Structure 1
Amino acid sequence: MEEYRFEYIDQIKSIFLCISLPFIFYLVFSVMNSIDGNIFNVYIIILIPLSVSFLFYWLNRNRIKIQCIARIGVKNTEIESLGKLRIVCFEEISSYRIQANNSISSVLINLKGSEKIKLSTYSQFFHKSNTFNEYCFDLEDAIDSYKNKYNIEIKREKTLFEKKRFLPFLIIFSIICGLLFIINTRYENYNLWPFIFPVLWLWAGYLEQIKKKAM
């Protein structure tokens, strides 16, 4: 069996961490803003909450990581983490969804008994190697080979970037964000770059999916 060593995220802890960051920023920002304005200028008032939020994330980033060893065989995949070994036979799978790119990669396996197995990671933040993506690609190839060999039906669910409605949504969303950015920059002089980054990330994911199909 081919062996893969990688890290994936604890979903509950990662959600808690993501929710905590805006609250920490708001709390520190409120404290800084309540102090006499002559002591701190506007840049310091914003910079310190950002720094505290980032420090909180940096100190807790390893708490949401889970070490994993996975193996792929002809008829199953083995997932070993948190001291437990789970053997998933392909014949037990009713459907699956696999997404592997340079930002977010994930594996979702729906078993016939309604049980779900999900592994996901943020590739750019958790590891420099591409091992998890390799596992995703090889797992999909193994499932396809098993389906063809034994002529059984295992549904492959489309990822967000593969759905037909995603491109029209992305175009409309990009136009709206672009107009808001232009209007506010021209008349209000607000910095809306944080709202542009999600648009760029979505386009990057979509274009990467197109590139993957063309290969």
Structure 2
Amino acid sequence: MQQIIRGNNKKNRKPIKTILRRDDIHKKFQQQCLSRIRKDREKKIWEKRNLNIENMKDEEMEEDIDFEKILKEEWNKFKSTYEYYGELSQEEIEKIEIEMKNETDIIDNEYMELLYYEEQMLENTIESYQNEDKILTCPVCENGKLFENSQLELIKCSNCNFEMSNKQYNLENLGNRIEELQRNHSNTCNGDLVYSYQPEIGLFGVCMVCCGMEIV
């Protein structure tokens, strides 16, 4: 990294760039790198989460991050945004890289805390519904149990990645609605509704016998 960060050439200056004092270069560039790390890391985490919520464990969070590559990419962006004199020292670069690694650890810990919280919420909710004999099986995977996450305002499945807003339905109303749709469908067809979920449509059931479709 010793050669990747150099001062700008005066003849290449552009009037639209923000002029930085020497003392502000390190601070601004550090903020930019930490913002990039958080954005990339959170995107990766939620991509994995959407693929398989249940199997997102600590060991799956561990992966190599090319901090040097990120530093180079962000420095090129930095040079196109700011006008400055001088250059960052190797010591300053190393400090920024350490901060990036620390930020990655913070994001991972935040996510694992969220997972733990959701697991506790799931256990408490299932226990509550067991006591009330009101457990609702997930209509999509037909294996998991649905629970409400009041903090995220979602109804989620304990087994698959199904989740929907709880603003229209709570668990009881959702169960009643699904029963109503199947009951009405049975009046004209002997087939059962198979449920899927798409964000642009919502939760819906399709019958493989009559090809009918019902929106929950």
- The answer to whether the superposition gives a TM-score over 0.5 is no
TM-score range, shorter chain: under 0.3
Larger Rg: 2
Give TM-score scaled by structure 2 length: 0.25
Identify, as 1 or 2, the structure richer in strand: 1
Give TM-score scaled by structure 1 length: 0.25
